[in-house]
Amino acid sequence: MRYLIAGNWKMNGSTASARDLAAAIAAQHAGAKADVVLCPPAPLLAAVGATLAGSTIRLGAQDCHFNEKGAHTGDISAWLLLDLGCTHVIVGHSERRADHGETDGQVKAKATAAMKAGLIPIVCVGETEAQREKGETAAVIARQVRGSLPDGASPETVVIAYEPVWAIGTGKTATTADIAAVHGQIQQLCGPKPPRILYGGSVKGSNAAAILATPGVSGALVGGASLDAADFWRIVEACPPVSA
C-alpha cells in the first residue's frame, strides 16, 4: 500500500491563499509515489476541492459530527463532507480531545459515522508529555486505539495517526526508536492486517526521510509544514518506494 501524506491546515488560510496553496501542491503531484490528502478548515473545503478537481490529490476535513443531521449548530456531518467531495476526515486529533473534551467513545462514534458515509477516518492517538514522563505511553496508546477505532475497521477503511502531543507544533520530534516502538505497538493492537499508521508531530522536509524510513511508519500527518508548498512537497518526495 502506498504511503499517505496528509496535510492538516488547522485554522489557517483564506479562500485566496488556500486556492494558491492547493494549486501549488497539485501542480507537483502527477506521478508522485505517495497518496496526498489536504485537510483545510471547513469553510475552505469547497474552494480547495474545486482547485483540486482533476488532480490525484484527495480532499479531507478536520472533524465531523457523529450524527447524519439534526440540531447540532456549528457542526458538520460526514455525509455533508462527502457531498463536498471529501474522501477523508481527521477525528480525535489531540487538539479536539484537549480543547473540546472529546473522549475515546466520541472519537469512535465519529469514525464510525465517517465509515458509514463512505469516508476514510484518520483516527488520531497520542500521549501528552506528562504521560510520557510517567511511563504511561503504552497504556495511553492501548486505551485510545481500543476505544477510538470503529468496529469492522480494515486497512481499506481507516487510517491511524500517532501524534505525541508534546511534539505537535513544539519543534520537538520523537526519536525514530520511540516512533518505531509505538507504531509497532499499534500494529500489534490492530492484528495481522493493520491499517496505514501515520506519524505526526513537527514533521518537516528536513526530518521526513528519517521518520518515513522508520519501521511501522506508512506516512505522515503534517501540520505547520503543510502550509508551505515547497516544504510539504519535500515530505512527499521523502517517502520510500513501496515494495511490490
What is the rounded average pLDDT of the residues 142-161? 97
More confident residue, 168 or 219: 219
Predicted pLDDT of residue 213: 97
What is the rounded average pLDDT of the residues 45-57? 96
Question: What span, in angstroms and rounded, lies between the C-alpha atoms of 88 and 37?
Answer: 8
30 class by beta-carbon count within 10 Å (0-12 exposed, 13-18 middle, 19+ buried): exposed
Residue 244 has pLDDT above 70, yes or no: no
Question: What span, in angstroms and rounded, lies between the C-alpha atoms of 24 and 212?
Answer: 23
Joined together, the cell numbers standing for residue 171 give 519543534
CA 64 from chain centre, in angstroms, equals 13
Residue 32 has pLDDT above 90, yes or no: no
Give the model's confidence band at 243: pLDDT under 50 very low, under 70 low, under 90 confident, else very high.
Answer: low
Instruction: Spot the catalytic one: 65, 93, 102, 127.
Output: 93
Predicted pLDDT of residue 20: 98
The neighbouring-strand residues paired with 7 are 38, 222
CA atoms within 13 A on the CB side of 221: 36
In the residue annotation, 93 being an active-site residue is answered as yes
Give the model's confidence band at 242: pLDDT under 50 very low, under 70 low, under 90 confident, else very high.
Answer: confident
Domains detected in the chain: 3-237 (3.20.20.70)
Predicted pLDDT of residue 166: 87
What is the rounded average pLDDT of the residues 83-106? 97
- Percent of the chain with pLDDT strictly greater than 70: 99
Instruction: Spot the catalytic one: 95, 102, 127, 163.
Output: 163
In the residue annotation, 29 being an active-site residue is answered as no
What is the rounded average pLDDT of the residues 149-156? 95
Q: pLDDT tens, 3-25? A: 999 999 999 999 999 999 999 99
What is the rounded average pLDDT of the residues 90-111? 97
Residue 108 has pLDDT above 50, yes or no: yes
